Structure 1
């Protein structure tokens, strides 16, 4: 079987060959008075014309500090207006934006700043219990005696400028207003001159992947990577200038800063940010008050909204479409979102940061069974195939193997990690995702699990996704995660963590019988635990490795876990 390439929608996207700055100029020209972004709390609004002007001002400020094309600039913050301004401003002058996870502690921050070789860092003061200045001072003690722009640190030889996005920053940092004041010394024509020399294939963004083992890797993306992904992702949703997209997903993640900000930039839609970090109530408020037509989120976010006490009384009639992605999307959940929530044209996307991020997506006009039961077909300009993870041979339809993608979204590489880049992008340009999937005869794909999540019990291969999908069908189950834990006899046993819907009750025995009704006995979980929440990343992704680690401790399986196997 040959790799399938999506052949429809073959006309060249208008953004192809452009830089992000050029696209912003054009969108501001086309839709000057339309909302560009709305931050709900605290309130902040800009039209596309206002955003275009504000971005030029920030770009002038960065030039005044000495930043030039190719320099790296980190943003360490929650969803605040300055994040969007800096994303577009750095792109406009060819400075590479480095996304830094706001949940990072000192050691993680130190690694990201060192590995990405940033020359500048912008950060907020605090959010909830996280105090960003304290963490930064711990990661870089030399800052305490530094003046603005004059840091000299062996650990951070390139880092010079620290910018506080709000509040009263330490003496070594510039305030946001001070950055804007310095912009007055640089004419806007200088920005235009630099912008004219940039190329669409230039690196413009480094996004760190949240690996389960080892240090995160910095996926390096170009203008073209993210703009084409945004164009096609928006086209799949039929986004246009009249759409208003609710973005409860974090900006530091590709879901927020590519499928979110870039999608809206390319299609002239409004970005609506409900809150700094995800809040089900704030998201529902934003959909109602701003009459959002589209909504993004990982499955846990949609579950939280559907289960929120105020959900029943909400007017969500404006909703039409959106994307559910970031982790496997339960079929039953998609049915609730499309039918009960009113987002009848909701799409599912699949990909990863290394693909900028989407490789496949369902379309709004796909039959409902495809929109709730598959991750769609490849975006135009992308190819996808399923290969045997051992032999690397392409597998026929209906057989499970590793999902691979090739096309315009594949990253330039991991920053300063050529060996790790070569391990995931082969000599023919195929990105090996590490995800298990299968292709249906109609060209649509399903993701069936992680290559390394597979449970091997007594020689039988068990895929957690199959068990999870069955348990999602139980009327009392809100969410479920299945992992393998060590077992002396079988090598591994199946464990299920189950979160029940409010007001529902069910026993372990009842769930076991429910599973036995449709699957082999060896697949039915041996261990069960009822929980109120799961360990997650800031983006809402379930961290299965932490579930496994916790279970090993709670079940007293430490000694068995240490047993080495061939």
Structure 2
């Protein structure tokens, strides 16, 4: 091992939670039954902790009435709403495995996901924007979804009936909040039981079903909340999607483990509704991916809103640009905002900055290893731990590492080695104080004429250009150098820029081989619903446009 190895272990002074999610939630209800637990602005609904518990118990009873048994899989295909939270708590209470279905999925993707894990019941939105979920499910039918026994749709008052499908309001009404079976089943559950399956956004091949336990996500939500110093006085605005760990764990479970209030501004992301909600609900915390914060900061009505109640939150999901972070701290009153790093397979957070992390470290790193976890940085070729300051693959180990990929032992073994280290595929460095910096994805590394170039470094530099709102850098095939850099740039509203302006900005500031050969001005980036930029689509589109042979996969 290196003389000063890139290895760190988190604190262990606060013990891990060894309860199930349902038992822990019930204990929190007992401490503050009348405290506000959930505000869903777009639905006009509010729940105290006691009311949320009663509704979740009623739903758990209703699910048992359908004949479901502990271990059965139940899907939810929806954006953010109160039924989502109720499903999250109710399924956990009776040992059902909640399967999060990406709202962006279309027929073949939802068919694959539901069949892969054998969902017996699905709760779905009726529609959202151009997506008609009920039409897609009818198109699939029982022949293509042979294991699905029941479809429940989230209805609103006055909605017409859907033949062959049950209303969520009817399902909920069929349960008994005092049903003794709920507590009886709960008493048989273990914290190490699988509770949740989340499909990783497969950019190549089929998505993998990361399977997480009570222990995985309950503890991760708790320690994430500790980093933000959450308490019952906090009200967290959650515009990030629930189907992803960001909303479900860093949002909901961070709140429920600290007695805080969950606030949904809308079902899908809308910058204006976030600004309105923070002001109206006096939110103290706000989550988002960088593109969400950019949209809020640059909204034409931004200056109209009083955001002075804000204190903390999380920026995560993709690389967090330093310039954006500075604007968020300065203009949105988020002086204690934290950066979190992780992946679905690690529940998700492995590293996080704290509310008191110095700003220079907060904007330049993803913080330090979380409690009860270990991280190390290894040479991707040899597996040896590299010295501090040297780049390598980040690996993590501890309570947060997933149970495995559902029904996929070979891919589980590829990701988690014999010593239980999860290999992230991310390139990182660790400094002498233990701060971790993500420098890119192994597969995003650009090698131009033998020079290793990290796109993240070029992006951070280009963010300094006064006209650049957002930027993504990828490598494109090149006969002479192997690869050349390509930058996709979104300019700030009301601005125009030229390729020469960008290149002139780079000259004398960064090495010549780091100056992008190709510069494209665009209005948006291809991305997943969670705000993750799909760089492989940028590569493929540019390669096709330029007639190049795309030789890198995502």
**TM-score higher than 0.5 here?**
yes
| Match of residue 182, structure 2, among 173, 181, 191 | 191
C-alpha distance in 2, partners of 1:384/1:174? 46
Cα deviation for residue 520 of structure 1 reads 1.1
Q: TM-score, normalised by structure 2?
A: 0.96
| Match of residue 165, structure 1, among 141, 154, 173 | 154
Cα deviation for residue 556 of structure 1 reads 2.4
Aligned to 2:105: 104
Deviations 1:451-472 (A, max 9, x none): 0001111222111001001001
Aligned to 1:147: none
**Number of positions where the alignment pairs a residue of Structure 1 with one of Structure 2:** 547
C-alpha distance in 2, partners of 1:524/1:279? 35
C-alpha distance in 2, partners of 1:6/1:432? 16
C-alpha distance in 1, partners of 2:212/2:492? 40
Aligned to 2:245: 254
Aligned to 1:431: 422
- Answering whether residue 8 of structure 2 is matched by residue 5 of structure 1, we say yes
Q: Secondary structure at the match of 2:374?
A: strand
Cα deviation for residue 416 of structure 1 reads 0.3
Within a 5 Å distance, the mapping from 1:221-232 to structure 2 comes to 221-232=212-223
Within a 5 Å distance, the mapping from 1:327-476 to structure 2 comes to 327-476=318-467
Aligned to 1:69: 70
Cα deviation for residue 563 of structure 1 reads 11
Contact 2:99-2:198 within 8 A present in 1 as well: yes
| Match of residue 170, structure 2, among 174, 178, 185 | 178
Contact 1:3-1:383 within 8 A present in 2 as well: no
Contact 2:540-2:550 within 8 A present in 1 as well: no
Cα deviation for residue 555 of structure 1 reads 1.8
Contact 2:287-2:313 within 8 A present in 1 as well: yes
Deviations 1:38-59 (A, max 9, x none): 1111211101010000000000
Q: Which runs of 5+ in 2 are unaligned?
A: none
Q: Secondary structure at the match of 1:183?
A: coil
Q: Secondary structure at the match of 2:39?
A: strand
Aligned to 2:533: 542
Cα deviation for residue 25 of structure 1 reads 0.4
C-alpha distance in 2, partners of 1:551/1:429? 39
Contact 2:341-2:366 within 8 A present in 1 as well: yes
The root-mean-square deviation of aligned C-alpha atoms, in Å, is: 1.5
Cα deviation for residue 211 of structure 1 reads 1.6
Q: TM-score, normalised by structure 1?
A: 0.94
Aligned to 1:86: 87
Deviations 1:155-195 (A, max 9, x none): 434321111111445321111122123214x9521110000
| Match of residue 532, structure 1, among 523, 530, 546 | 523
Q: Secondary structure at the match of 1:452?
A: helix
| Match of residue 483, structure 2, among 458, 482, 492 | 492
Deviations 1:13-55 (A, max 9, x none): 4xx1111101110111111111111111121110101000000
Q: Which runs of 5+ in 1 are unaligned?
A: 143-152
Distance 1:303 1:453, change over 3 A: same
Q: Secondary structure at the match of 1:90?
A: helix
